[in-house]
Amino acid sequence: EMEHHALQAVHNEVIAPPRAGHLPSYKDKSVETGFQPACVGMRTLHVASDQLQSRYPYPEPTHFDFTEPTVGFGRKNVMKTADVLRILLEKGADDIPQDSEVKRANVTMLLEPLLDTMVVGDTTINANIEILIPLLKDLLSDADPVVRKRSADVLARMSSLHQGRQSICEAGCVDALATFLEDQESADVRIAAGRALLALTQSVDGRESIVGDQPPADRNVITRIVTALLRAAERSGPVATPELVEPLLEVLANLLQTDECIQLALDSNLVPFLVHTLRRRNHPTPAMKCLVSVCGSPAGKRAAIEGGMLAALCGLLASKDAGERRLAARSVLLIAADEEGKRKSIVLVPNLVQQLYEEDHDMYMNALLAVRSVRCRPALACSPLEGRPPGVGGWEMF
């Protein structure tokens, strides 16, 4: 017996009749004609549409459930998913069974098309962004930690464009994200909130919207971020999250650009944490980026000097990683701008001299400028025989 043509290697998807008559013909008295006259239903023998309809019948129609998530690529489908989420928020858990699972699935489907930058651009037009951002802010306070985590992921995607960052800051989502840095229920929520803040602060306009001079900027968020950082770095605690330390250090490195912001971080005991982190070589690159930002103000330089930061930088100047050596030299350069920093940086000169032979231009310039900054101290400007600091060899070459 002949198998159905769909199971054979050769298909007959043409207007011509199939090679084997495995289907009844319209000329025969069969179920197709219902023993009616031969002309009934015979528009054309073996029309392609008739063949496909009989060989591949459509499945039985199913009832459409508006809460069932569908992949939406484009501004219309993203907003349709947002409308479903809004309906789910307005209705209680008693009205829709398994409300939490439905919201999880729809937030996931909302995130999937936003991985495309062009879709993010379509979604951030004024008519859509005014609806979507308040919805995401409401989802951040949902009882389900998975919904909160994925809502923070969506905010991170929306932060890739200027319109999205502006709307997120104006809607007050930054305070909500800073609050969830210490979420007691889920570490994934804390990490997602930290990454969303990092995405917001990677641009100049995002930093200005968070800690700038114009509303809705609020510099107190720095205190909350530093507090969350210190609690996340604890060895044991209710919100101990080692994976959150590096993103928050990057966030602080981006935000600490003014004296007021740096002073808020100093008041929250950021420098002792940086000293401890660099001595233990934990997250050295983001920690030194944060240190460079802190040393941008005179108060930050003095706090670093008094906290023993130069001793921690001494070993990093001889690190095997080129990026760490470059950042360490940059930190020494900034600290040496202070008179007390010049005096205490003398012990670092031999390691700085080694970087003068590096091929990396940035590393060479950082080391050279640091040495010249230390050399500018009046007590060291004398001749080698008169005032060379004890215990410092090779100073004659300068």
- What is the per-residue pLDDT across 81-93, written as a single tens digit (0 to 9) for each? 888 888 888 876 5
Section 264-286 average pLDDT: 95
Residue 34 Rama label (left phi>0; alpha psi -120 to 50; beta): left
Query: CA 328, CA 289: separation in Å to the nearest integer?
Result: 9
Count of CB atoms situated within 10 Å of the CB of 169:
24
Query: CA 98, CA 65: separation in Å to the nearest integer?
Result: 14
**Percentage of the residues of the chain whose pLDDT score is greater than 90:** 54
Section 133-145 average pLDDT: 92
25-39 pLDDT per residue, tens: 445 544 444 444 444
What was the pLDDT predicted at 109?
A: 84
| Contact (CB, 8 A) for 46 and 16 | yes
Query: CA 253, CA 11: separation in Å to the nearest integer?
Result: 64
Query: CA 286, CA 242: separation in Å to the nearest integer?
Result: 14
- The answer on pLDDT for 96 being more than 70 is no
Contacts of 65 (CB under 8 A, 6+ apart): none
Which 8-state DSSP code applies to residue 347? G
Give CA angle at 135 (191, 100), nearest 5°: 70
More confident of the two residues 123 and 205: 205
Section 109-137 average pLDDT: 85
State the Cα torsion 354-357-361-365 to the nearest 10°: 50
What was the pLDDT predicted at 93?
A: 53
What was the pLDDT predicted at 101?
A: 83
Section 222-242 average pLDDT: 93
CB-hemisphere CA count at 13 Å for 341?
24
Core vs surface per residue 357-374: b (16+ CB within 10 A) or e: ebeeeebbbbbbbbbebb
Mean pLDDT score across all residues of the chain:
80
More confident of the two residues 27 and 144: 144
- Of the pLDDT bands very low, low, confident and very high (cuts 50, 70, 90), residue 237 is confident
What was the pLDDT predicted at 92?
A: 64
Section 358-370 average pLDDT: 91
- The answer on pLDDT for 8 being more than 50 is no
Hey, what amino acid is at 42? M
- The answer on pLDDT for 72 being more than 70 is no
Q: Whose CA is closest to 158, among 212, 191, 127, 122? A: 122
Residue 281 Rama label (left phi>0; alpha psi -120 to 50; beta): left
Q: Copy the structure tokens of residue 154.
A: 């969506």
Section 140-157 average pLDDT: 93
pTM (2 d.p.): 0.76
Contacts of 16 (CB under 8 A, 6+ apart): 46
Q: Copy the structure tokens of residue 384.
A: 């080698």
Section 287-309 average pLDDT: 95
Hey, what amino acid is at 293? S
- The answer on pLDDT for 12 being more than 90 is no
Q: Copy the structure tokens of residue 388.
A: 């060379």
- Of the pLDDT bands very low, low, confident and very high (cuts 50, 70, 90), residue 62 is low
